[in-house]
Amino acid sequence: MSTNTKSSKAKTSTKLSDEQRRSCIEVAAYYIAERRGFICGCDLENWLAAEAEINRLLAEGKLQPQ
């Protein structure tokens, strides 16, 4: 006898859309800049640090789409 387990096999998507990912990076970059005292000229550095942090959180499964 076969039981339908299709719903139990459904996977939850853990991939963010490009817009969601950009938004997360934007917020993280703001908080990094705030911690650094909003030093002028560090925008790219803040963005890259935020991007690395978001990538790490996604890879560890600690950041889920909403």
Helices and strands counted in the chain (H then E): 3, 0
Note the pTM of the prediction, 2 decimals: 0.74
Asked if residue 39 belongs to a domain, the reply is: yes
In a domain, 28, yes or no: yes
pLDDT tens per residue, the chain (66 residues)? 544 444 333 334 468 899 999 999 999 999 999 999 999 999 999 999 999 999 999 999 999 877
Residue-wise pLDDT for 50-66, tens only, equals: 999 999 999 999 998 77
Q: Does residue 48 lie in a domain region?
A: yes
Structural domain includes residue 52: yes
41 domain-assigned: yes
Number of compact structural domains in the chain: 1
Domain that holds residue 29: 15-59
Separation of CA 46 from chain center: 15
